[in-house]
Amino acid sequence: MNEAFSRIISQAVAHGWSDVHLTGGHPVAYRKDGDIGMLRDTVLAPAEVDGLARDLLTPHRADILRRRWSVDFALTVAGIRVRVNIFNTTRGLSLAVRLLAGRIPTLAHLNLHPSLEEFTRLRAGLILVCGATGSGKTTTMAAMLDEINRNRPAHIITLEDPVEYRFASKKAFVEQRELGAHFPSFERGLLDVLREDPDVILVGELREAETIRLALSAAESGHLVIASLHSATPEEALYRLCNAFPLEAQDLVRHQLSSTLHAIVVQQLRIHPVARFRVPVLSLLIGTHPVRMLVREGKFAQLHSIMEMGRADGMFTMAAYHDDYLNRPQRFSAPANVFRPAPEEEQFPDHESPLVDRGLGTTHYAPEAARHLARPGANLPDAPLGDATPHGLAPSGASASSGVTRTDEHGETVYTLTDEGRLEDVLREFTGR
């Protein structure tokens, strides 16, 4: 690990910074209490930032940066868990570093409604945690998982992008998988997880139709699925799920939703007028029988009225939540105390198995898709970090660092990517045939 970077992270913890920004030829910037400050006497040269990126990146993450010009991941530095985004700017590479809480906060410490604790006792069903970026969805789901971890002998598997909070197994057995590092796509991860004996499945985000379909199937087959979605209301969340599918498939999707949906939690962060810091404001839809009927019939516009009349069932709109819960006399936990960066409760190093082909993992397709993509003897060019990839093939006799060709037992040509392999190069060779 880069010593200068470790010193900066340790300094951030000592001074209570929430974020650190590193870019070439500019003073190190940091965020504290919502405001940006700068270390005028600490300036990294562009070459030093490049060297830092090389120290932090594994080969497959370096390949993602080279192809996508940005990469997002989490790691532990000087005992502190951080999330890092490396991206390209006019100054060259820049790093945005978010310091994460050393301990997973409880639902009570997050000032969340007590009903969320009841959800963690469910054995099956779908719980959606929704909200805008930065509204605390990941932290809320982590707190719910930790509640299960502390109280139930269950098998928890997470599919995340990236892994932010690290869980140590307590009463439950927890296994965490990261997109691009441990599975190539959420679709592949969900196909895998159903064969891995889970009780609880966390899906970092529902995006594509196939991911949504597999998550619904997992909940339908007797698993508790907790997933996040970008939406501002429960109605919008359901519209987004259904509209991800073609019209002829939406009846089946609504039927699956009506049979599996237990709750939709929508979260915002707002300044509390008395406490003077941000607290979560929630709207909550519970999958009661009337709600399931409306979902099955696609009458999402009527759900708001059900929520307004469903307080006895634990439902509330944001306005009702503000009046009935946030305005009651109570003591709220200050975010500065809950999210104070600190060493992780249990530290354990990541291990990369030599049996896994990372080249295939970062291209987001199944190994079968690499078959029949190159003519015998074809060689593809090697492109180091930051270099442009030439469009032509390597000269005859050159070594192929991005892949190897071989003939299988049926006499068919098979192309296999190595760590440096890139799908674009393979497809370019395929179209060149």
Out of 98-107, 144-153, 162-171, the most confident range is 144-153
pLDDT in tens, 338-371: 776 666 665 566 777 777 766 544 444 333 333 3
What is the spatial distance between Cα 238 and Cα 4, in angstroms, rounded to a whole number?
47
The model's pLDDT over 307-333, given as tens digits with 9 standing for 90+, comes to 999 999 999 999 999 888 888 878 888
CB 13 within 8 A of CB 24: no
Q: Residues 230-246: pLDDT tens digits?
A: 999 999 999 999 999 99
Q: Mean pLDDT, to the nearest integer, of 221-235?
A: 95
Q: What are the helix (H) ranges across 244-317?
A: 250-260, 289-297, 303-309
pLDDT the model gives residue 300: 96
Average pLDDT over residues 186-202: 94
Rounded Cα gap, residues 295 and 298, in angstroms: 5
Look up the pTM and report it: 0.75
Q: How confident is the model at residue 289 (pLDDT cuts 50, 70, 90)?
A: very high
> Could you give the domains of the chain?
3-99 (3.30.450.90), 115-338 (3.40.50.300), 365-432 (no CATH)
Q: Measured over all CA atoms, what is the biggest interatomic distance in the chain, rounded to whole angstroms?
A: 78
pLDDT, greater one: 168 or 415 = 168
Asked if the model's pLDDT at residue 55 lies above 70, the reply is yes
- All residues at 6 or more sequence positions from 338 whose CB lies less than 8 Å from its CB, including other chains: 101, 105, 109, 110
Indicate the pLDDT class of residue 134, thresholds 50, 70 and 90: confident
Q: Report the C-alpha gap between 54 and 362 in whole angstroms.
A: 17
- For the four alpha carbons of 132, 134, 140 and 142, in that order, the dihedral sign comes to positive
